[in-house]
């Protein structure tokens, strides 16, 4: 009799939690993003709750310092998932035709898909945690470069900055911005000469702006909030790293970088080094060469960000 009563009480309590959205959300917000993707299959109600923009934004704010991993490209269509914290190294599949990662930004990837022999390529914003993607509709013939700008601590919406030649001359370029919140493109009225800035595909997103460096060292900055562009002088030298790992404590802040044969971490707090992965035992290793260059290492962060 007591067993039946206990079971009945437990079932009743579980049902109360399951149908109380406020309590349920507080519990689910504690879980990592990957497990929440699985929990969407529990019921239509859970799927609806976990798919809202508000839940995604709250989850991001609760997990404001996620431990990033990396997606490493060993060959044109061969990717590996690398977690430096637990030293996990696994093959990772991108379910697109001939995918190329152009950029990663706070859990979202900007992809170019299509054979290198084909001029007809497609572009997507992709969330590798949820598997959701959105195809970008743009004029590909005059495209010079794309950049993804996403700060989930400020907004659940992302922007894609597109630089392309103008319709009247290949010597001039223009900037257009896609806003995922409105799903529309907006064009900057000002145009620029494209002769100096030949690498619009190598822009950097930082401090609410996109930065491009010209061959002579001049910097072009596009301010995303103000929707303005300005020029400045280059103030720093070159550096190539895989990423920076942050943690709850300052002692956990470290720089992850790659030298021939190894992936290492340098802790800023005490200057110590740690070997994270020995690449010499892998089939694609080439002695004295870097296996993962500027465009081969991308941060991988589990996130619920909608696309």
Structure confidence by residue, pLDDT tens digits, 267-292: 877 778 888 889 888 888 888 777 78
Indicate if 47 and 100 belong to the same structural domain.
Answer: no
The answer to whether residue 181 sits within a structural domain is: yes
User: What confidence score (pLDDT) does residue 9 get?
Assistant: 53
Query: Reduced to 3 states, what is the DSSP secondary structure of residue 11?
Result: helix
Indicate if 99 and 163 belong to the same structural domain.
Answer: yes
Yes or no: say if 260 and 287 are a contact pair by the CB < 8 Å rule.
yes
For residue 17, what pLDDT band results from cuts at 50, 70 and 90? low
Q: What is the DSSP letter of 96?
A: S
Characterise 181 by phi-psi region: left (phi > 0), alpha (psi -120 to 50), beta (else): alpha
Last residue of a domain, one of 182, 215, 233: 233
- pLDDT at residue 162 is higher than 80: yes
> For residue range 25-38, what is the model confidence (pLDDT) as tens digits?
898 999 988 899 99
- Highest mean pLDDT of the ranges 132-141, 279-288, 289-298: 132-141
- pLDDT at residue 1 is higher than 50: no
Indicate if 127 and 229 belong to the same structural domain.
Answer: yes
Indicate if 101 and 219 belong to the same structural domain.
Answer: yes
What is the rounded end-to-end Cα distance, in angstroms, of the chain? 52
Indicate if 130 and 204 belong to the same structural domain.
Answer: yes
User: What confidence score (pLDDT) does residue 227 get?
Assistant: 93
User: What confidence score (pLDDT) does residue 233 get?
Assistant: 58
Last residue of a domain, one of 176, 205, 233: 233
The answer to whether residue 264 sits within a structural domain is: no
- pLDDT at residue 158 is higher than 50: yes
- pLDDT at residue 167 is higher than 60: yes
Return the CATH number at 222.
Answer: 2.120.10.80
Total domains in the fold of the chain = 2
- pLDDT at residue 237 is higher than 60: no
**Nearest 10 degrees: Cα torsion 76, 81, 82, 86:** -170
Angle (CA) 254-238-240 rounded to 5° is: 45
- pLDDT at residue 113 is higher than 50: yes
Indicate if 224 and 148 belong to the same structural domain.
Answer: yes
What is the Cα–Cα distance from 161 to 253, expressed in whole angstroms? 30
> For residue range 183-226, what is the model confidence (pLDDT) as tens digits?
999 999 888 876 666 678 888 888 888 988 776 667 788 999 99
For residue 16, what pLDDT band results from cuts at 50, 70 and 90? low
Question: Which residues does 134 contact at the CB level (< 8 Å), separation at least 6?
Answer: 124, 125, 180, 307
- pLDDT at residue 238 is higher than 50: no
Domain region containing 38: 2-62
> For residue range 46-77, what is the model confidence (pLDDT) as tens digits?
899 999 888 998 998 888 777 778 889 888 88
Indicate if 31 and 120 belong to the same structural domain.
Answer: no
The answer to whether residue 170 sits within a structural domain is: yes
Query: Reduced to 3 states, what is the DSSP secondary structure of residue 261?
Result: coil
Indicate if 32 and 114 belong to the same structural domain.
Answer: no
Q: Which whole number is the average pLDDT over 137-151?
A: 89
For residue 112, what pLDDT band results from cuts at 50, 70 and 90? very high
Token pair belonging to 119: 């001029």
Indicate if 54 and 100 belong to the same structural domain.
Answer: no
Indicate if 226 and 100 belong to the same structural domain.
Answer: yes
Distances in Å between the alpha carbon of 283 and those of 87, 88, 289?
Answer: 18, 17, 13
């Amino acid at each position: 009799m007591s067993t039946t009563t206990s079971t009945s009480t437990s079932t009743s309590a579980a049902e109360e939690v399951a149908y109380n959205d406020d309590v349920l959300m507080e519990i689910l917000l504690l879980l990592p993003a990957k497990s929440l993707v699985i929990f969407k299959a529990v019921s239509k109600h859970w799927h609806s709750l976990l798919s809202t923009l508000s839940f995604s934004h709250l989850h991001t704010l609760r997990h404001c310092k996620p431990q990033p991993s990396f997606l490493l490209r060993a060959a044109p269509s061969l990717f590996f998932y690398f977690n430096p914290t637990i030293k996990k190294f696994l093959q990772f599949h991108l379910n697109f035709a001939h995918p190329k990662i152009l950029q990663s930004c706070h859990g979202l990837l900007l992809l170019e898909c299509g054979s290198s022999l084909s001029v007809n390529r497609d572009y997507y914003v992709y969330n590798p945690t949820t598997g959701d993607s959105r195809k970008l509709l743009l004029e590909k013939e005059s495209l010079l470069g794309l950049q993804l700008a996403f700060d989930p601590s400020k907004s659940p919406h992302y922007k894609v900055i597109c630089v392309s030649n103008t319709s009247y001359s290949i010597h001039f370029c223009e900037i257009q911005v896609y806003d995922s919140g409105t799903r529309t493109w907006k064009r900057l009225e000002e145009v620029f000469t494209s002769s100096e800035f030949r690498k619009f595909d190598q822009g950097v997103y930082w401090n609410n702006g996109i930065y491009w460096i010209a061959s002579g060292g001049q910097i072009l900055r596009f301010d995303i909030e103000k929707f303005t562009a300005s020029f400045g002088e280059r103030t720093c030298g070159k550096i190539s790293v895989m990423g920076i790992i942050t943690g709850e404590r300052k002692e956990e802040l470290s720089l992850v970088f790659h030298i021939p044969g190894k992936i290492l971490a340098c802790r800023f707090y005490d200057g110590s080094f740690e070997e994270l992965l020995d690449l010499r035992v892998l089939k694609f290793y080439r002695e004295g060469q870097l296996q993962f260059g500027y465009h081969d290492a991308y941060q991988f962060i589990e996130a619920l960000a909608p696309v």
